[in-house]
Copies of this chain bind each other. A is one copy, B any other.
Amino acid sequence: MEGVDHLAHERQKAQFDVEEMKVVWAGSRHALELSDRISRLVASDPAFRKDNRTVLSRKELFKNTLRKAAYAWKRIIELRLTEEEAARLRFYVDEPAFTDLHWGMFVPAIKGQGTDEQQQKWLTLAYKMQIIGCYAQTELGHGSNVQGLETTATFDPKADEFIINSPTLTSSKWWPGGLGKIATHGVIYARLITDGQDHGVHGFIVQLRSLEDHMPLPGITIGDIGMKFGNGAYNTMDNGVLRFDNVRIPRDQMLMRVSQVTREGKYVMSNVPRQLVYGTMVYVRQTIVVDASCALSRAVTIATRYSAVRRQFGSQDGGPETQVIDYKTQQNRLFPLLASAYAFRFVGEWLKWLYTDVTQRLQANDFSTLPEAHACTAGLKSLTTSITADAIEECRKLCGGHGYLCSSGLPELIAVYVPACTYEGDNVVLLLQVARYLMKAVSQLPSGKKPVGTTAYMGRVEYLMQCRSDVQRAEDWLKPNVVLQAFEARAARMSVACAQKLAQFSNSEEGFAELSPILVEASLAHCQLIVVSKFIEKLQQDIPGKGVKEQLEALCSVYALHLLHKHSGDFLSTGTITAKQASLANDQLLSLYSKVRPNAVALVDAFNYTDHYLGSILGRYDGNVYPKLYEEAWKDPLNEYVVPDGFHEYISPMLKQQLRNARL
């Protein structure tokens, strides 16, 4: 069987150039070459094996992660990988580890909030991993409400030191990854207190463990917070708990780029704008959007390939049964997710551009686009992670019973992914922030202040409030402008309706609280519009390769029309479209599936994932599912013995009716 490609007939059906689509997905030829090379490097190295992860005990699992992280770093040094290559390598190792926080949060926090001197000192150490850092913000009692953190950093002018303290149980740091067992240092957030005055939450670099024997330093209590969702999954990470008993650190370990405490204990703001901090958030959330497209595309690859392998019902005259991917219900569940993966990829790419743009403007002291960029990344983080979390689970269901086996790869993918809805901002809290931005934008419309960036469409609000869709035939829904106008009109009308309701409250905070459920819906409509419009913009670019653009056009329509169907209540109740037009949109959607169908397997091949990265028997490139599932089963520890441990004590006495005397 080895060497056979059970999906060859599917691949032959493709009507486009898969290699060119790989370039589009990767972002550039360079990015594709890089991903391809590094992913193969990881896949071919047995040290990075991960198929045994779900049967390891917590301790074995964790030790194994330490080994992989060290080995990865060793390879990075040996092969003299660039920063970009090293990041890709960690990505393809595909195992949450303390290094994620070190590189993804600790280093960026110092970069964003540290002075030049601080950066010089600490980043030099961090880049060589002579210290390992974590990011400790959340506490047992406070996550979303960062301003409510209870840890204190009190300046002692006599000693020129801060005293870091955990005054209550709920002030214990709780959740930071890498903290529990590994980090030597952390960026710790605490309320800055000078001379009895509370200046709110600031960041401090605190050494946590001895660089000699790794023991926590005096006054510091640290541990792991325990098992998390799933086997394998995020349990490779040592999310930790941390308490400070009046721990002293030098004054220069406060991150002082934005504000300082002087030798005398005076609190002063630097002339660096505070908004800089938002730049980091825009950066981190943009990476989360890109990660969403990765996680989603992975799950979709598994579900698509397996749906092409799996046959059930519909055999005629003893011929083969129907591939389940041919069932319209399966397509109606799967293809919109495939389209979403591409949509999230392109909006992620655009966010990368946005981040660069914002950064350049900040350097030129132009803060005008920052609030909009901030709202937009918050909203897109929320939208893409919520959809992806649900979608991975849907992909599991699309695989029937076999999707429930760890060997399908989907259980770990779900368990490791779902917290993305919570970390870096709870998704509902984020949508409420977007709503605040939108309500402000609407309220400023009469003043003539032009809304910018992704809210620019609000500038045409008068038109959008009364326009009517001119769709008459199903095919009309394939026109980008028709779709765009419908999404713009729906979003604008929902925002305006909220603003009007809001105006009826004398206390606007009370009104906001009262109306929050519909405000969240308006935010979502706005965010969906962004994704749709960025997909459409992408298609206005020159995209080479036979048939590539046509496929993307079909996927763009699938993406937009499935949203339109799912939220048809919004479109209808705002009068944006008529019931007849909604029905035509769904007709068009269903007929698009037939266009996607022959290309489905090739469209997931274009993600260019190795079997190692996918980690799924159901998603194997060669489709050789059944023999491999069968083989894999026998590796379970329970199969080491034919008669299971416990039989003689518990089962035999039961069968022999001798339980009465058994010691259980």
Residues of A that sit less than 8 Å from B by CB: 47, 54-55, 57-59, 62-63, 66-67, 69-71, 73-74, 77-78, 128-132, 138, 140-145, 148, 169-170, 172, 175, 180-182, 184, 211, 213-216, 223-231, 234-235, 238, 241, 311-313, 315, 321, 327-330, 332-333, 389-390, 393, 396-397, 400-401, 403-407, 410-411, 414-415, 418-419, 421-423, 426-428, 432, 513-518, 520, 565-569, 571-575, 579, 582-583, 586, 590, 626-627, 629-630, 632-640, 642-647, 649-655, 657, 659-660, 662, 664
Given contacts A55-B227, A230-B231, A389-B393, 8 further A-B pairs with CB under 8 A are A57-B637, A66-B651, A70-B653, A70-B659, A148-B315, A215-B643, A403-B422, A566-B569
A590:B517 contact, CB within 8 angstroms: yes
A107 to chain B, nearest CB (A): 16
B405:A225 contact, CB within 8 angstroms: yes
A234: B residues at CB distance < 8 A: 404
Q: How far is the CA of A653 from the CA of B311 in the complex (A)?
A: 52
A328:B180 contact, CB within 8 angstroms: no
B405:A226 contact, CB within 8 angstroms: yes
A169:B644 contact, CB within 8 angstroms: no
A411:B230 contact, CB within 8 angstroms: yes
A403: B residues at CB distance < 8 A: 422
B644:A62 contact, CB within 8 angstroms: yes
Given A321-B148, A411-B228, do A59 and B642 touch, yes or no (CB 8 Å)? no
Q: How far is the CA of A329 from the CA of B224 in the complex (A)?
A: 32
Give chain A's interface secondary structure class: helix
A346 to chain B, nearest CB (A): 26
Q: How far is the CA of A664 from the CA of B4 in the complex (A)?
A: 35
Q: How far is the CA of A327 from the CA of B332 in the complex (A)?
A: 35
Interface centre among A47, A131, A327, A566 (most CB of B within 10 A): A327
A428: B residues at CB distance < 8 A: 329-330, 333
A400:B313 contact, CB within 8 angstroms: no
B128:A650 contact, CB within 8 angstroms: no
B636:A69 contact, CB within 8 angstroms: no
A632: B residues at CB distance < 8 A: 226
A664:B67 contact, CB within 8 angstroms: yes
B62:A646 contact, CB within 8 angstroms: yes
A272 to chain B, nearest CB (A): 28
Instruction: Pick from B66, B397, B646: contact of A650, CB below 8 A.
Output: B66
Residue of B nearest to A77 (CB): B659
B626:A140 contact, CB within 8 angstroms: yes
B626:A141 contact, CB within 8 angstroms: yes
Q: How far is the CA of A115 from the CA of B625 in the complex (A)?
A: 40
B131:A655 contact, CB within 8 angstroms: yes
Residue of B nearest to A643 (CB): B214
A579: B residues at CB distance < 8 A: 572-575
A241:B630 contact, CB within 8 angstroms: yes
Q: How far is the CA of A105 from the CA of B532 in the complex (A)?
A: 49
Q: How far is the CA of A660 from the CA of B144 in the complex (A)?
A: 42
A214 to chain B, nearest CB (A): 5
Residue of B nearest to A645 (CB): B63
Q: How far is the CA of A652 from the CA of B213 in the complex (A)?
A: 9
A404:B513 contact, CB within 8 angstroms: no
A401:B418 contact, CB within 8 angstroms: no
Residue of B nearest to A98 (CB): B651
A646: B residues at CB distance < 8 A: 62-63, 66-67
17 contacts across the A-B interface (CB closer than 8 A): A77-B660, A130-B655, A130-B657, A141-B311, A141-B626, A182-B651, A184-B655, A226-B633, A228-B406, A229-B410, A231-B231, A328-B516, A329-B428, A329-B516, A330-B428, A565-B569, A573-B579
A644 to chain B, nearest CB (A): 4
A569:B582 contact, CB within 8 angstroms: yes
B418:A393 contact, CB within 8 angstroms: yes
Given A141-B626, A225-B405, A327-B513, do A58 and B55 touch, yes or no (CB 8 Å)? yes
Interface centre among A47, A315, A389, A626 (most CB of B within 10 A): A626
A572: B residues at CB distance < 8 A: 568-569, 572-573, 579
